[in-house]
Amino acid sequence: MSDMKILVVDDSSVIRETLESYFTEEGYTVSGAGTAEEAELLLAEQEFDLVLLDIRLPGKDGLTLTRELRTRSEVGIILVTGKQDDIDRIIGLECGADEYVSKPFNAREVLARGKNLIRRVRKQRDLAKNQSEEPTLRTIGTWQLDTSRRILLNSDRSVSQLTEGEFQLLLALKANEGEVLTRDQLMDRIKNRTWNATDRTIDVLIARIRRKLSEDPSCPQMIITVHGVGYLLSENPQVDSLCEPS
């Protein structure tokens, strides 16, 4: 486990040292940073499996760093905040975070979440590096869902990375193509994640998937909203559209 690296980013030296000590005792290699700027220097030098990131930081905040990290990396990200406000949690997920914990937190719970996330990150990296494995491609409009690498490939060769939650939801929609899945059914598909999915979480993930599919949010043709019920993946997105004409 010593090759698994964790970065703890918190401006509180007490919290930072507490988490560093706890994860080190569990056999992880842990680094600490008091600001986003210090964290960026470490991230440029090393590949981490997990970042424990405080939202409220001096200078660049944790949400901004999360958004920037997610554009170039699939590192596991757990956001930590002192606020109980659900809005922070939703914004964090929209920025691409995997998990969310509120202070005061139980260190053992953070450890459990971290272990689960690291396993998933490692598995995804191993699949991406395995060049001998034939990719499993599933067609979604002009895109191909590569289930081995968990990415979207467009006909113009552009690539969109998927987080675990996005991948699981898109896979569920594809497996039930043309059928409406309720939010409850979609929540069941990601119940293995350590944070509890809600209706709002599903909506956030759907919005993120649509952006990655380059969908017009006012008139999506691939992932259709069935009001009062849930979502469906269109079997013929070039023709099907449930949008009202403007």
Q: Does the pLDDT value for residue 2 go beyond 70?
A: no
Write out pLDDT tens, residues 148-182.
778 899 888 788 888 777 888 898 999 899 999 99
137-233, what's its fold?
A: Arc Repressor Mutant, subunit A (1.10.10)
Angstrom distance (rounded) from CA 13 to CA 1: 25
Looking at residue 193, its pLDDT comes to: 44
Q: What percent of the chain has pLDDT over 70?
A: 85
Please give the mean pLDDT across all residues of the chain.
82
DSSP, collapsed to helix, strand or coil, labels residue 207 as helix
Domain with CATH 1.10.10.10 in the chain: 137-233
CATH 3.40.50.2300 location in the chain: 5-129
Instruction: Supply the pLDDT for residue 9.
Output: 96
| Mean pLDDT to the nearest integer, 26-49 | 92
CATH number of 5-129: 3.40.50.2300
**Is residue 246 very low, low, confident or very high in pLDDT (cuts 50, 70, 90)?**
very low
Strand ranges (DSSP E) for the chain? 5-9, 29-33, 50-54, 76-81, 99-102, 137-140, 143-146, 151-154, 159-161, 181-182, 223-226, 230-233
For β-strands 143-146 and 137-140, DSSP reports them as antiparallel
